[in-house]
Amino acid sequence: MTSARYSDTLVNKLMPAIQPKCRGLVSKRVLLLHNNAHPHTAAHTVDTLRTLKFEVLKQPPYSPDLAPFDFHLFGPMKKYLRGQKFADNNEVMEAVQSWLKAMPKSFF
């Protein structure tokens, strides 16, 4: 299948699939955030997104601003939970909730 034919097929199938899920929103504006993988930046993909009038949000290859919880929240939480044994998910949730309650307001 040529890229132009593939693009037409995608346009004809994608919009009808999205519209029932986002009633009234597709006609206004669609924002798309995806990574910079080659299939996402290929010329036919970019052309298709332009045809669909999707706005692609720029994402740098690496930015700690995109996931601050990975650095600020989960590191200390992992340190707190390290070495503990839990019988089920409820015990894990209770441990996390008690840890969050013990954190000072300045942490958040």
Angle between helices 89-102 and 74-81 (to 10 degrees): 120
The whole-number pLDDT of residue 81 equals 92
CA–CA separation, 31 and 25 (whole Å)? 10
Query: How confident is the model over 58-104, as pLDDT tens digits?
Result: 766 666 555 655 667 888 888 999 999 999 999 999 999 999 999 88
CA–CA separation, 89 and 11 (whole Å)? 43
Inter-residue contact 52 to 58 (CB < 8 Å): no
Q: Nearest-CA neighbor of 36 among 12, 16, 61, 19?
A: 61
The whole-number pLDDT of residue 44 equals 80
3-state secondary structure of 30: strand
